Structure 1
Amino acid sequence: MNTSSLALATAAAAGSSSSRRSNRWKYEVFLSFRGEDTRTGFIDHLSIALGSAGINTFIDYELKKGKNIQRELDQEIEGSRIAVVVFSKSYAESRWCLRELSKIMRCREDQEGKVVYPIFYDVDPSEVRKQSGSFGEAFQKHERGEVPNEVEQWRKDLKASADLVGQDLKTTADRREGVFIQKVVGDIIGLLKTSDLKETKHSVGIAFRVEELSTKYLDVGGSHDVQIIGIWGMGGIGKTTLARAIYSKYHHSFRGQCYLEEVRSKKKNMVSLQQQLLRDILKRPDIKISSVAEGTKEIEKRLGSMKVLIVVDDIDDADQLDELAIEHDSFGPGSRIILITRDEQVLNIQKVDKKYKAQPMTDEDALELLSWHAFGNHCPDKEYIELATDVVDYCGGLPLALKVVGRLLATEKSESIWKSTLDKLRNLTHEKIHETLRLSYDGLSDDHVKGVFLDISHFFINRNGTEVVAILDSCSRFCVESEFKTIQDRCLLDFDSAFIRMHDLIRDMGREIVRAECAMEPGKRSRLWHHKDVTSVLRDDSGTEAIRGLTLELPENSDEHPFRTKAFKKMRHLKFLQLKNVKLTGSYRHLSKELRFLHWHGFPLAVVPEDFDLRNLVLIDLSYSKLVRVWEDSDLLPKKLKFLYLDDSRNLTQLPDFSKLPHLENLSLKGCEGLSGGYHLFAQLKMLQHLDLRDCNITDDAILESLRRLSFLCTLLLDGNGFNRLPILSGLSQLTVLYLNHCTNLQAIPDLPTSLLILEANYCTELEIMPDLPEMLEMVELQLKDCRKLKDIPNLDNFLCNMYTLHMEGCASLTATFKENILLKWKGDVVGGLSLSVNDIPPWLPYVAREDETVEIEVPPTFDYIGGLVVCIIYSSDYSYCTGSLCIHVVNRTQRTRFHIWPMETTVTASHECYLWLGNLTNKKLNLKGGDKVRVHADFIETEDDHQIKVKKTGVDIVEREFVASDWTYVDYKRVPYESDEEDTDDDRELSFRLRKILRF
């Protein structure tokens, strides 16, 4: 999909929505009255006053002669937003008036948004309600001459209308009609106050998000239950824009509606929020509340039977929701309450039915939004495409940043100014962006959790979460895990995977907060990260005890002169030191004794100096170092150490005495080819859980035998080594991950522990024998790509149903019987992906398409349950060793939905060799239903070269059962806008790829 087509689609959707709103009501007010009582007096004056106020009003003298008056009156009642009913002394004597009232009350029931406003003109409301006085006399006559059922309905309608909010001349303005009319007109203006919110200019991508949220979360007009929906996400990500679009689209479908804005900033004025809620929904501008407690009770009492739409925007305190009576029992059936917040914890405290996390914009949408603000067009000027994509990268899909930066650059037409402005923004965040994001930081509960956030933003992004928790725990009297949860709930941190992620602009906001601590004297700040500031502090010896952490990275062959260790002398509270290719001269005793984290890539010395106090360190990373041996025995060794990384220290020949590291959990020696012995020392690592020995040139058995004693070992990485066989590892009862990729001399894998979840032995070209695997019920992933001598895996079919992934493409010696059994078993319950060297689609797949064709399916309406789709492809390439990402496009023409699904990346190792991929796509994502017309197409997008991988055939089947592993998350399902019934274009298939690659000329 290109940006132009999306812009046109969005504009069309917005225009259509606007048209529906403007054409819904023909008149704003319909006047119902008894002409003999009021036409030439009160009604005439009221009609003139309404017209003078600009209110479009219907009065019966506008009816044209010769037409069906009753039918035309009914049409005008239906087409008017407010029906003003003027009850006068002889109103009930008129059958026309009573029938008109009944029509009005039926429309009030049937038409969402219809308002009935009674006026009691020289008649008491109780006479109307109880049909007494002149109304009682009129009904005595009606009961003698009219149909009883109709008379009874008139009575009900009079009672119901008298119970509505209106005005009584006898009790208002001392019966002065002029003042009374002014009061009525004021009320009607309040009732007509538009509920349509101003649409955001250039609302790129909003139409699709509204449709997605409406379908999956709101269910307007569907469930009659009261639904509370939470929308949460980081500041500036477009939560309010989305909520306003939802509100504008659906508020007409509710009897009452209210949009409460900027609730966070109105904490001290809760009474005003309660008043606004009641006034907007009840259409009563005169409602007054004297206390919060009274307001809560009034909301519960008055709105309990009404179907309402309420948006509470920018809430950060669950107590405010309690005071606004945001509970399921407070509102009528079919109501929808939408809560907007940066803090997910607010939604966890409040019982919400569904939560929607607002996502950053796609690169394509981001480029279009930036272009509207910077160029006044849907795409950038051609010569600015590269710079524009740099800006998109900087903004990270944040709409607020795209708008602010786009406007900032709009007046500049010089490429050099664009570049310099972007460089400045990368070092000093724009004030508006900073202030918006900082609100979430300011809302953190205390200085301790704020400090944890600042530590992460400066030193720990993209690091393993377990490591960071251990490091920060060691610095604090408190366990920081709860702080992590608080920060994540505030959308300041993403900790969904093993690694800590943070949006670049959130990171920059944290760094700007620290910079502002002492803008002119960096040595007095708590954390240093900027190259210029750090080098200045180290050169001038201006560091102070305020510094908690410091980062300095230099190029590998930097000509920067060594710094003196004395520059660290005053940094007595330094806990985090992150260096790269930095050289120090002098005694290491000047470095802080409080260090917990030492990350020094390119460490320049052959051994860690004896006077370097390592005793409090939790993590040491000296990868790419010049170390020959790690350290000498001393009293300053890191006895609290949990993580030691010495990757690619190619000069390292001697391992340390691991008995001095009793708490070590992770040890990585990847690429340490020079190690010549001491492997028996591994046996001392009683607590070791993760061991990385990839590419260590291991050829003998001594090291392998010592591994059998590591009873707590969970992960073992042995890729790229030259041993011929493995020892029996079945005694490692905690081992879950074993990597043996590119062990090209390995001929056999003996017995393995039954705890194993993942085994990778790709490109083991001599591997012939796999163990009998009858008890491997925990295994979910087995990869044996290009093991060309392997013929069989005994008992694999016994545990295949639990697996997510089986890669055996390139295993050219597998027997036909083995492959046939695997394919049949995979057909059963497996939800993951199977890859084999096979030439054709299995015959049990009913829908098959050849190269460049699309599979077309109509889901049988008789299916009681749909588990999803089985998809199988045959693919090959004219080239060897080319890679590609498989994308499956599923278009539901009936529901008008489209998915791009990314189930795997693959490498074709042999030219013209055919491979099969077979996998299942869960219907929990696709939502297929009986009768749907569906198209399925598959292709590969190259990621590393231009050698194309071609899909030769595609086969599909519909699965009626539920997949065993239905919550499988390895596959990326991306729902994208549906544009037409036509097949996907090439541009559509590349939607998820980096914009640079798509738009490069």
Structure 2
Amino acid sequence: MMLEMPEHQEEMQCNLEFGKIKSLQILLVEKKVGFLRSPATLPNSLRVLEWPGCPATSLPHDFHLKNLVILDLSYSYFGWDKPLENSKVLRHLIVVGCKNIRRIPDISGFHNLTKLCVGECTNLIEIHDSVGSLLHLKVFCAEGCTKLTIGLSRIELKSLEHLCFPGCSSLVMFPEVLAPMHKLNHVDLGGTGIRNLPPSMQNLKGIKVLSMGKGQMLEINESSNFFQNLPMFFPNLETLYLQNLDITILPASIEECHSLKFLHVTNCKKLQEIRGLPLNINQFYAANCSVKANSLILKLRQAIDSAAMRICFLPGREIPELFDHSSGGNSTDKSIEECHSLKFLHVTNCKKLQEIRGLPLNINQFYAANCSVKANSLILKLRQAIDSAAMRICFLPGREIPELFDHSSGGNSTDKRYNNRNRISTQLPCDG
């Protein structure tokens, strides 16, 4: 059974007695569907109960979970003041945004639970240690629980794949990892108050995505062991987010993270020096940092030469010397054409850029908005890219479409065919 809002109606009041529908297995209630009072009874035949905004602070006393597989009471008045009845069949327990929940009680009786989501429970203070020993749990999310101070003291979750605590600003300890958890591949600790990572984290060697940052009190600097431990603790790490941290130096030891492909240090405003980048790095984001782009020359050149680098967001507004410009930072040299794997090139807001002498033939997207270079000076290079059938998106400087596009109806039309073959999308700034 699904209860949803009638078309063109903002709210609906219902007063159904669900307990009388003995064979009901699925009950889905839209959040906007209002009830005159909390349900007195629910049928024990239910297998799926999804009721966001449910007005009840607890489940009916005579409702048993023996058949329930999915329980979703998100953004409801549910308080979880006492443990729920044990269940061997419950798989998903979702109570996101429940302001009345202050503690997660003992749930050791949910032997087959695979998903537990308690995010945005802003009054949640404590999570019972029984959560840390659910052998079949795959996803545990508690994002945005700003008052959470008593988290798990230990975990042994051999099936866990996703662990998420972003925005838990009062959480200061990461649990001890009692046994290898090879299936865990994603850990998000951004915005927590965690001060240090326990040595037992080396039991999490399967992690591929690690996120730290924004409010993090964890000591991450050259003298700490964080970067030195990365290659040993997380040999399979592919993505590392370190945004909004007070790091000053990215040490050379990060080069030992041979599987790392995506590195984000955006908004690390105290970052002044980057001494190493993994050779296999694919995307590197360092926007809004204090580090000078030209200090990255050697490391960027190595990554580009290895044909690994695809996307690179650099700090500052000047083109680094990597591109061999020879006229005071105002042009890019033809040597960039040798970056045969380069498909996305962004030189947006490089206001001193006046000349582009080369573009790789395989370039797919080219962004040059808000530069001083004249669009018509790109005709030959753009023509080559279009002839190679590679170019798809092109953001050009200035307010006129270059002669390359043979436009015939004013200077502001876009998306013209070139030689009746390849359609590309062009965009120019337009007068307000």
Verify same fold: TM over 0.5: yes
Distance 1:869 1:577, change over 3 A: closer
Task: Say yes or no: does 1:670 pair with 2:109.
Answer: no
Residues 871 and 921, structure 1, Cα contact 8 Å, conserved in 2: no
Distance 1:633 1:586, change over 3 A: closer
Distance 1:871 1:587, change over 3 A: closer
Q: Where does residue 704 of structure 1 map in the other structure?
A: 174
How far apart in 2 are the matches of 1:639 and 1:759?
33
Distance 1:531 1:540, change over 3 A: farther
How far apart in 2 are the matches of 1:741 and 1:649?
21
Per the TM alignment, residue 697 of structure 1 is displaced from its structure 2 partner at its CA by 2.1
Residues 565 and 590, structure 1, Cα contact 8 Å, conserved in 2: no
3-state DSSP of counterpart to 1:598: strand
| Identical residues among aligned pairs (%) | 16
How far apart in 2 are the matches of 1:640 and 1:922?
54
Going by fraction, where is helix more abundant, 1 or 2? 1
| Counterpart residue type for residue 587 of structure 1 | P
Q: Where does residue 208 of structure 2 map in the other structure?
A: 736
Per the TM alignment, residue 719 of structure 1 is displaced from its structure 2 partner at its CA by 0.6
Q: Where does residue 841 of structure 1 map in the other structure?
A: 319
Matches within 5 A, 1:276-675: 527-531=1-5, 539-541=16-18, 544=21, 547-555=24-32, 560-566=35-41, 568-569=42-43, 572-584=44-56, 587-590=60-63, 593-607=66-80, 609-610=82-83, 612=85, 614-625=87-98, 626-632=100-106, 637-656=109-128, 657-658=130-131, 661-675=134-148
Distance 1:835 1:953, change over 3 A: farther
How far apart in 2 are the matches of 1:593 and 1:536?
30
- Which residue among 182, 188, 198 is the counterpart of 1:717? 188
Per the TM alignment, residue 764 of structure 1 is displaced from its structure 2 partner at its CA by 0.8
Residues 14 and 36, structure 2, Cα contact 8 Å, conserved in 1: no
Task: Say yes or no: does 1:777 pair with 2:258.
Answer: yes
Distance 1:727 1:613, change over 3 A: closer
Residues 553 and 580, structure 1, Cα contact 8 Å, conserved in 2: yes
Per the TM alignment, residue 730 of structure 1 is displaced from its structure 2 partner at its CA by 4.6
- Which residue among 372, 390, 406 is the counterpart of 1:981? 406
3-state DSSP of counterpart to 2:302: helix
How far apart in 1 are the matches of 2:411 and 2:62?
65
Q: Deviations over 1:143-166 (max 9, x none)?
A: xxxxxxxxxxxxxxxxxxxxxxxx
State the superposition RMSD in angstroms: 4.8
Task: Say yes or no: does 1:759 pair with 2:247.
Answer: no
How far apart in 1 are the matches of 2:301 and 2:84?
65
Per the TM alignment, residue 840 of structure 1 is displaced from its structure 2 partner at its CA by 2.7
Q: Deviations over 1:360-404 (max 9, x none)?
A: xxxxxxxxxxxxxxxxxxxxxxxxxxxxxxxxxxxxxxxxxxxxx
Per the TM alignment, residue 760 of structure 1 is displaced from its structure 2 partner at its CA by 0.4
Q: Where does residue 159 of structure 1 map in the other structure?
A: none
| Counterpart residue type for residue 551 of structure 1 | L
- Which residue among 932, 938, 943 is the counterpart of 2:368? 938
Task: Say yes or no: does 1:820 pair with 2:293.
Answer: no
| Counterpart residue type for residue 981 of structure 1 | D
| Counterpart residue type for residue 658 of structure 1 | V
Task: Say yes or no: does 1:787 pair with 2:257.
Answer: no
Distance 1:531 1:548, change over 3 A: farther
How far apart in 1 are the matches of 2:35 and 2:14?
14
3-state DSSP of counterpart to 1:820: helix
| Counterpart residue type for residue 126 of structure 2 | Q
TM-score of the aligned structures, taking structure 2 as reference length: 0.69
3-state DSSP of counterpart to 1:825: helix
Distance 1:716 1:985, change over 3 A: farther
Q: Deviations over 1:710-749 (max 9, x none)?
A: 6333111111123444445455210111101213544413
How far apart in 2 are the matches of 1:987 and 1:744?
48
Residues 343 and 364, structure 2, Cα contact 8 Å, conserved in 1: no
How far apart in 2 are the matches of 1:550 and 1:973?
47
Distance 1:594 1:586, change over 3 A: closer
3-state DSSP of counterpart to 2:263: strand
How far apart in 2 are the matches of 1:612 and 1:740?
36
Distance 1:785 1:708, change over 3 A: farther
Q: Deviations over 1:128-176 (max 9, x none)?
A: xxxxxxxxxxxxxxxxxxxxxxxxxxxxxxxxxxxxxxxxxxxxxxxxx
Residues 723 and 743, structure 1, Cα contact 8 Å, conserved in 2: no
Distance 1:867 1:737, change over 3 A: closer
Q: Where does residue 286 of structure 2 map in the other structure?
A: 808
Residues 639 and 660, structure 1, Cα contact 8 Å, conserved in 2: no
Residues 310 and 344, structure 2, Cα contact 8 Å, conserved in 1: no
The total of aligned residue pairs comes to 374
- For structure 2, the 5+ residue unaligned runs are 221-225, 354-358, 382-390, 395-403, 416-423
Task: Say yes or no: does 1:923 pair with 2:357.
Answer: no
Q: Deviations over 1:412-432 (max 9, x none)?
A: xxxxxxxxxxxxxxxxxxxxx
| Counterpart residue type for residue 564 of structure 1 | P
- For structure 1, the 5+ residue unaligned runs are 1-526, 878-911, 915-919, 927-935, 940-949, 959-971, 993-997
